[in-house]
Amino acid sequence: MENEIELGTISSRGQICIPSGMRDDLGLEDGSRILFVRVNDALMLKKVNMQTFEEITRPLKAEAKRLGLKESDVVGMVHRARKKR
């Protein structure tokens, strides 16, 4: 992780300009989603990667298919994992 410090300003409409170098490094484009987190007097911005449920679960489904698992196998696996705790 690279640490950078830049100074910016807030417009009269509450808009913040993210420095172009930082936008480029993070791959932020027009329409990119940003998460704002306030902790006391600090404001943190985090890039949000929006994915559909299908996009998130696609690799899991592919691995389950490769292993020959069925959806009905999952309940038993969960119960066994919980017992091991």
Fold for the domain defined by 1-49: Pemi-like Protein 1; Chain: D (2.10.260)
For the chain, what is the mean pLDDT? 89
Instruction: Place 1 in a pLDDT band, splitting at 50, 70 and 90.
Output: low
What pTM was computed for the model? Answer: 0.54
Beta bridge partners of 36: 45
Radius of gyration of the chain (CA): 21
Cα three-residue angle 25-31-26, rounded to 5 degrees: 10
| pLDDT (tens digit per residue) in 43-70 | 999 998 888 888 888 998 899 899 999 8
Q: Which residues make up the CATH 2.10.260.10 domain(s) of the chain?
A: 1-49
